Amino acid sequence: MSVSMSRFKFAATAALAAGAIGGSALAQTSKPDQSFIEEAATGGMAEVELGRLAQQQASSDAVKQFGARMAEDHAKANDELKQVAAAKGVSLPSAPTRSQQTDKEHLQKLSGSQFDKQYMDHMVSDHRKDIAAFEREASSGTDSDVKSFAAKTLPTLREHLKLAVQARQAVSQTASPVKNAASASR
């Protein structure tokens, strides 16, 4: 009986030690860093989904190309983030947030130039917010791996913003002659 009790105590001690080691990895990743990881994950998933939607519903080649770039770049960043999260013991959400789903549902109802304009407006706004969040994490985060991910991803997000602004301008210029022609005929 004492032999089996000893084995039980050993197994329990080993389990507690393993939990303590896992727990200390989580303790090293602060709540703000964990929140950043989770928000970056949902944002990345939303970007991939919206990028695919743009490839299907956009009328402008510039918007379709931008959507393809979003799907590709954000899928890659999502894969990198999954590795960081796994190393930190942070569970990632399985889907975008309800708000992000609502944005997608709204865009799914649009087509052609109306889709192009609203998608590009959303991308400009969203990437400005993303850049601010990634800059904050890169400068103020407490976990070096999470900070490194944010800093490494920032140049891509800045490039996305630049491309989004250009695509939005292209879409606006394409729509302007139609508006001008309509108002000139009145």
Rg of the chain over Cα atoms, rounded to whole angstroms, equals 23
How confident is the model over 138-148, as pLDDT tens digits? Answer: 999 999 999 99
Alpha carbon distance 169, 95 (integer Å): 31
State the total domains in the chain: 1
How confident is the model over 5-45, as pLDDT tens digits? Answer: 444 444 444 343 444 334 444 446 899 999 999 999 999 99
Q: Is residue 186 part of a domain?
A: no
Q: Is residue 11 part of a domain?
A: no
- The model carries a pTM of 0.79
- Maximum Cα interatomic distance, the chain, rounded to a whole number of Å: 98
Q: Is residue 135 part of a domain?
A: yes
Alpha carbon distance 147, 105 (integer Å): 32
Is the distance from CB of 162 to CB of 53 less than 8 angstroms?
A: no
The mean pLDDT of 89-106, rounded to a whole number, is 96
Q: Is residue 3 part of a domain?
A: no
Alpha carbon distance 49, 71 (integer Å): 7
First to last CA, the chain: 98
Residue 126 neighbours by CB distance under 10 Å: 21
The mean pLDDT of 91-110, rounded to a whole number, is 97
Q: Is residue 185 part of a domain?
A: no
The enclosing domain of 168 has a CATH number of 1.20.1260.10
Q: Is residue 5 part of a domain?
A: no
The mean pLDDT of 141-170, rounded to a whole number, is 97
Full domain range(s) for residue 37: 30-174
Q: Is residue 18 part of a domain?
A: no
> What pLDDT is attached to residue 22?
40
> What pLDDT is attached to residue 29?
87
* Residue 185 DSSP symbol: T
Q: Is residue 131 part of a domain?
A: yes
